[in-house]
Amino acid sequence: MDIIRKNVKYIIAGLLPALLIYFIFVLYPIVRSFIYGFYDWNGLSEPIYTGLNNFKIILTDEVFWQSFKNNIFIVLFSIFGQVPIGLILAVILSRNIKGAGFFRTAFFIPMMLSTVVVGLLWSTILNSQVGIINSILEAIGLEELTQNWLGDPKLAMLSICAVIVWQCFGYYMIIFLAAIQNIPEEILEAADIDGAGELKKLTNIILPMLWPTVMTAVVLCISGSMRSFDLVFVMTGGGPANATELMATYMYNKTFAIYQYGYGSAVSLVISVISFGLIIISRSLMSRNLSD
């Protein structure tokens, strides 16, 4: 038995393909990006070592801070948008109402579409000429509310966030639904016997038991928002006037539009550090809340 389980030949043959492809296309590039971050390099000529210079430029660039603020805005909008909406709908649908299956299926559909499809669809819907949003407002006599949703720097970020909520709330709903279904029946039955009303059951039993799931959802919001790129890239490209610039679009524009590979690597390093940092902070904050 152990002769097989410790057979080095088999172990190597089984693991090598996975390790090799993973190393070449994931791990090695990450290590390289750490290194490039300290160089000035246009991708063609010999890289020049510049120490922390790239990081200095990033941290003093107003556009970077604007994009950082926008990322944080998306994180907060997601935490206070998708998470509560998903939670409310999950609580409603967990009560065995008629058609629950249909609603569950329907709410998850946007999550299936590629972000590019969602971006192009909503760009058209929000379009100030042919879009349906403005047409609806005109049809119900609220013409003064019609807007250039993606062209107005004050509104563009809000419009993008609304689209993110539209696409993702179903995902959070499913996660919460699964968690609610894991709450043991007996606990809820015991509460019934004690005469607890629906609202009491919700606030005293269901929500506290869902707290770990809420925590997971917040972490997902953070990591998802930090990664977001496709939607903004397709809908606004970071414009108008950097109003919707994200750290990822900033990195893309710096790297591939003006060929600053060293600088772009430094930006991606900063993004990784920020998103890991945020996840750690939010985890510790929320676990402290739990023990209170």
Partner 1 sequence: MNENTEISLKHGTSNRSISKIALCFVLGMASIITLYPLIWMLYTSLKSNKDISMSTFALPTTLHFENYANAWKQANIGTYFINSIIVSVTAIIFTVFIGAAAAFILSKFRFSMQKGVYSIFIVGMLIPLQSILVPLFIQMRTLRLLDSLWSLILTYTAFGLPITIFIMESFMRAFPDEILEASIIDGSPIYKMFLKIILPMTKPAIASVVILNFLNNWKEFSFALIFISVEQKKTLPLGLYNFLGAETSNYAGLMAALVISSIPVIAIYLLLQKQVIDGMTAGAVKG
Site for partner 1 in 145-204 (CB under 8 A): 166, 170-171, 174-175, 178, 192, 197-198
Site for partner 1 in 128-147 (CB under 8 A): 129-132, 135, 139
Angle, helix 100-112 to helix 153-181, in steps of 10 degrees: 130
- 271 touching partner 1, by CB under 8 A: yes
The minimum distance between CB 270 and partner 1, in angstroms, equals: 10
Contact at 8 Å (CB) between 206 and 34?
Answer: no
DSSP letter at 247 equals: H
Q: Which stretch binds partner 1 (CB under 8 A): 32-40, 75-83, 142-150, 152-160?
A: 32-40
* CB closer to partner 1 out of 23 and 65: 23
Return d(Cα 106, Cα 22) in angstroms, integer: 36
Cis geometry, peptide bond prior to residue 47 (ω within 30 degrees of 0): no
User: Is residue 111 a contact residue for partner 1 (CB under 8 A)?
Assistant: yes
**Residue closer to partner 1, measured from CB, 164 or 220:** 220
The candidate with the shortest Cα–Cα distance to 150, out of 19, 84, 67, 238, is 238
Helix, strand, or coil (residue 47): coil
Q: In this structure, are residues 242 and 291 in contact, taking their beta carbons and an 8 Å threshold?
A: no
Tell me which of 214, 232, 243, 251 binds partner 1, using CB under 8 A: 251
Q: Kindly state whether residue 208 participates in binding partner 1, applying the rule CB under 8 A.
A: no
∠ Cα 283 289 292 (to 5°): 145
**Residue 24 corresponds to which tokens in the numbers above?**
């070449």
* Nearest alpha-carbon partner for 285 in 213, 219, 203, 202: 219
Binding range to partner 1, per CB under 8 A, among 50-58, 62-70, 94-102, 148-156: 94-102
Site string for partner 1, 222-241 (x = CB under 8 A): -x--xx-xx--xx-------
The closest alpha carbon to 224, from 246, 240, 245, belongs to: 246
Considering beta carbons, is residue 156 or 270 the nearer one to partner 1? 270
Min dist CB 115 to partner 1, Å, is 7
Cβ-based nearer residue to partner 1, 46 or 154: 46
| Sole binder of partner 1 in the list 62, 112, 185, 186 (CB under 8 A) | 112
The residue among 52 and 192 lying less far from partner 1, judged by its C-beta, is 192
